[in-house]
Amino acid sequence: MKAHSMNIKNIFNYGLTTNKKMSNMIKKNYKTLQNCEYINNSIFVPTRAYTSTNSDSNKRKMNMFTAINSAMHNVFETDPKSILLGEDVAFGGVFRCSLDLKNKYGDKRVFNTPLCEQGIIGFAIGLAENGFTTIAEIQFGDYIFPAFDQIVNDVCKYRYRSGSSFDLGNLTIRSTWGAVGHGGLYHSQSPEAFFAHASGIKIIIPSDAYKAKGLLISAIKDKNPCLFFEPKALYRASVSEVPVEPYELPLGKADIVRDGTDITLLTWGSLVHKLKIAADVLLDQHGINCEVIDLQTIIPWDVETVEQSVKKTGRLLISHEAQITNGFGAEIAAKIQERCFFNLHAPIKRVCGYDTPFPHVYEPFYLPDEHKIVYEVLKIMDAE
């Protein structure tokens, strides 16, 4: 294709060129190119309609691992090309998320792999490329890094590098995520920011059982590869009324879990519950009304919902378990500072893990909690 016949979308499909006409086109369309939503739409398949559940449908109490198990059973019942592979998944997995799947659907659709993350993702890529609805489980997020090259350079770029001729939209990678209370160095990490820097994969982190099922079904059905991180501290601790029938929650949409007027508290995963506790304390003891937002999807993240909230409250505190330097909170802070500069009453604050390897006995001091959140919010409010 000649450079002069390219439209703005082709820039992303074929890469930039030094051709003078192309350079003039880039200058002319610079404003469009700066729009991150436009770029996301160029990289990802457009968002489809989501299937909601009837509010009167059959529900029962489920914890998070049971809800995830229910989601996969729902998918396997309706999609004969669905496959689950990973370490120990055949007997139900160490966290019991795949319980009874092999017994019900057979060992050709649910099977164990060697302890080799590169092999799990490599095999999953081949399955997804050939049309199978593939769910690959990495038992601990800390051990996803041996497969980092395959995820970043193959999974993320497959559609882009082929000009949309091929894709891995049928692939969902499930993995545990975050601190559990006693995990130490290699069973506590939150690696979402590493993958957020690689365009082409959606990243989801649920905060309760209800969201886990709805978001996982959406991720599996989405025609883009998805990385679904599951907070292992919530596998049993988070209990919700969850529909037995399948339902979907939209990807790329944040959830305002508590309305407020004085400050926006933003997080994802396990810390949503800590921020809700902090918000209760701040309102009851200090009269500060906090708005709490669960981001839910890291990529693509819901810029508009956060922007609208901060324009209303004038203040933003971001918290995540991962260490503070280059954590995803830094990206959020930069974008909101650009969009809400004249609405801010105070600098954006981050309360995150420290820039050290994850400790063992000092884990309670390392992690953000409700006490740190309350302390920092009071500092923000007193500084004005």
* Residue 382 vs residue 229, higher pLDDT: 229
What are the beta bridge partners of residue 111?
Answer: 85
Mean pLDDT of the chain: 91
The predicted pLDDT at position 20 comes to 64
Mean local confidence (pLDDT), 77-106: 97
Amino acid 228: pLDDT = 98
Cα(245)–Cα(169) distance, integer angstroms: 24
Give the 3-state DSSP-derived string for 340-370, with helices as H, strands as E and coil as C: HHHHCCCCCEEEEECCCCCCCCCHHHHCCCH
Instruction: Report the share of the chain in percent with pLDDT over 70.
Output: 87
What confidence tier does 36 reach under pLDDT thresholds 50, 70, 90? Answer: low
The yes-or-no verdict on residue 110 having pLDDT over 50 is yes
Could you tell me which residue, 269 or 27, shows the higher pLDDT? Answer: 269
pLDDT value, residue 174: 98
Q: Which of 98, 352, 328, 35 is nearest to 230 (CA)?
A: 98
What is the per-residue pLDDT for 3? 39
Respond yes or no: is residue 4 known to be catalytic.
no
Question: Does residue 7 surpass a pLDDT of 60?
Answer: no
Higher pLDDT, 47 or 134: 134
- Per-residue confidence at 57, pLDDT binned at 50, 70, 90? confident
Segment 223-251 shows an average pLDDT of 97
Q: Taking a C-beta distance cutoff of 8 angstroms, is the pair 357, 187 a contact? A: no
Taken in order of first residue, the domains within the chain and their CATH numbers are 3-34 (no CATH), 59-243 (3.40.50.970), 255-382 (3.40.50.920)
The span from the CA of 192 to the CA of 188, in Å, is 13
- What region does 276 belong to: left with phi over 0, alpha with psi -120 to 50, or beta? alpha
Alpha helices in 82-151 (DSSP H): 101-105, 117-129, 148-150
Q: How does 200-231 read in b/e, with b if 16+ C-beta sit within 10 Å?
A: bbbbbbbbbbbbbbbbbbbbbbbebbbbbbbb
- Characterise 135 by phi-psi region: left (phi > 0), alpha (psi -120 to 50), beta (else): beta
Residue 51: its pLDDT value, please? Answer: 74
> Is the C-alpha dihedral spanning 134, 227, 141, 158 positive or negative?
positive
Which tens digits make up the pLDDT trace of 172-225?
999 999 999 889 999 999 999 999 999 999 999 999 999 999 999 999 999 999
pLDDT tens digits along 282-329: 999 999 999 999 999 999 999 999 999 999 999 999 999 999 999 999
Q: What is the arithmetic mean of pLDDT over 155-170?
A: 93
d(CA 116, CA 364): 31
Known catalytic membership, residue 117? yes
Indicate the range of 154-163, 263-272, 306-315 predicted with least confidence: 154-163
Q: Tokens 């009071």 appear where?
A: 378
Cα gap 123→113, rounded to integer Å: 10
Helices (H), the chain: 8-14, 20-28, 30-33, 36-43, 64-78, 101-105, 117-129, 148-150, 158-161, 192-196, 209-221, 271-286, 303-313, 328-340, 363-366, 370-382
Beta-carbon count within 10 A of 308 CB:
15
Residue 249, burial from CB neighbour count under 10 angstroms (0-12, 13-18, 19+):
buried
Share of residues in the chain with pLDDT > 90 (%): 83
- pLDDT of residue 234 exceeding 70: yes
From 117, 291, 307, 370, the catalytic residue: 117
Stretch 241-256: mean pLDDT: 97
Q: How crowded is residue 50: how many other Cβ atoms within 10 Å of its Cβ?
A: 16
Instruction: Count each helix (H run) and each strand (E run) in the chain, helices first.
Output: 16, 14
pLDDT digits (tens, 9 = 90+) for 148-158: 999 999 999 99
Contact 98, 110 (CB under 8 A): yes
Please give the pLDDT value at position 31: 59
pLDDT score for 239: 97
- Strands 110-112, 82-86: pairing kind: parallel
Identify the active-site residue in 187, 192, 291, 370: 187
Q: Model-level pTM?
A: 0.90
Give the model's confidence band at 43: pLDDT under 50 very low, under 70 low, under 90 confident, else very high.
confident
How far is Cα 58 from Cα 245, in angstroms, rounded to an integer? 7
Q: Give the residue-averaged pLDDT of 364-368.
A: 95
**Residue 238 predicted with pLDDT over 80:** yes
Quote the pLDDT of residue 75: 98
pLDDT of residue 11: 45
